[in-house]
Amino acid sequence: MTTNLSIWISGPFGKMGTALRTALEDVTGISITGIVSPEHSGQTCDIAGTSMTVHDSLEDLAQSSPLPDVIVDFTFAKVAYEGALFAAKKDIDFVTGTTGMTPDQKQEVIEAFSTSKGHAIIASNFSLGAVLMMHFAAQAAQHFTHAEIVETHHTQKKDAPSGTAITTRTMMAENSPMSENDIPIHSLRLPGAIAHQQVHLSSPGEILRLEHDANDRSCFMPGIILAIRRVHGVDGAIFSIESLLFPDNDLKQA
């Protein structure tokens, strides 16, 4: 990989895409060289002092711009799925926080990157605190007999349960005697919320609660930037940044 990473952003004007563009203004070694948003196609956007044309699709952008080192996606499930397959075909690394892909779509993406020179991180959550919470929940699940998850998000979130809650449940089930059916998920959609999760674990006589609150989207930026910088070193396609934080981790990952 080059020292200065070039990236394309698919979904640059959504809440996460906007926050990422702002965060990258203070980051060295990562340059935005293309942006894709069908709703804004043909318009221009100021990126680091340069007027950049918004393209309709990754395919459209590829016809007029050199391919990037990494494609970063914050759109919705169908677009992220198609973007991942495009990246794998073009041997480009891919990072997305978009949730909602079906199991079949995920499997297809895994297979695509297994034969690609590109690599992918498809993570349900880039908050370092949330990833730590999932890690601790998987560890704790080994020692309790019952567990339930409560996740709360803003009212615009399209999927329920959240990808973070599903990943947490899978990690807990894979590292304990409990099955996924033993771990109910309760989803709340409330105005004023951003992203919040509680994991309740219990055995006779005691309850352990693990809780994480994302109160501002800035908390996701360090994890996204870490993923952009480290994606080229992962094996194929992975579905969490946990291995970036715990390289010697012996827990099973979702």
Q: Is 117 an active-site residue?
A: no
Closest of 167, 225, 176 to residue 197, by C-alpha: 167
CA atoms of 82 and 58, how far apart (whole Å): 10
Residue of 119, 135, 153, 196 marked catalytic: 153
Q: Which of 55, 119, 135, 157 is catalytic?
A: 157
Q: Compute φ and ψ for 92, nearest 5 degrees.
A: -110, 140
**153: annotated active-site residue:** yes
Q: Which residues contact 175 (CB under 8 A, 6 or more apart)?
A: 138, 139, 141, 142, 251, 252
| 3-class DSSP assignment, residue 176 | coil
HEC letters along 7-36? EEEECCCCHHHHHHHHHHCCCCCEEEEEEE
Contact 228, 72 (CB under 8 A): yes
Q: How many helices (H) and strands (E) does the chain have?
A: 8, 12
Residues involved in catalysis: 153, 157
